[in-house]
Amino acid sequence: MTRRCSRRDRGAIAAWTATMSVLAVALALTVVALAQVQAARVRAAGLAAEAARAGVQHIDLTAYRTNGRLVLQPGLASTAAEAHLAAAGATGTATVTGNRITVTATSRQSVPLLTVFGLGGQVTVTATAAAQPYTADPIGGP
């Protein structure tokens, strides 16, 4: 025996399917946009770490050759780190405290899907990284 649909039920599945399809697309776009924002954060963290490594290469060779101590040259280290950020299209600051350089990088990343949500097409992200010089053990360890 087959059941006949009442007039009220006609098209109910089509409306439900259309609504669920729109919601599924919106959810997928949200996930992709959030992934793009997270990728921008990871890129900023990488830039900060790269800049810190660029700065930490500027050690005082005289101090190292005289007494074996690794001492950063603050002016050169900060300048190198900030130049690295500028070359990558980011801004930021580099500060040397003792034997450690800390870099804060700020960059604007394009996130095209944010325009779908009316949030503009870019996001500003900031990340901080630090580095300090070390010498490798001639036998193979740091």
Domain that holds residue 72: 15-131
Predicted structure pTM score: 0.75
4 part of a folded domain = no
136 part of a folded domain = no
141 part of a folded domain = no
Total domain count, the chain: 1
User: Cα–Cα–Cα angle for 60, 65, 70, nearest 5°?
Assistant: 45
47 part of a folded domain = yes
142 part of a folded domain = no
| Residue-level pLDDT at 14 | 82
Contact 65, 122 (CB under 8 A): no
pLDDT band at 45 (very low <50, low <70, confident <90, very high): very high
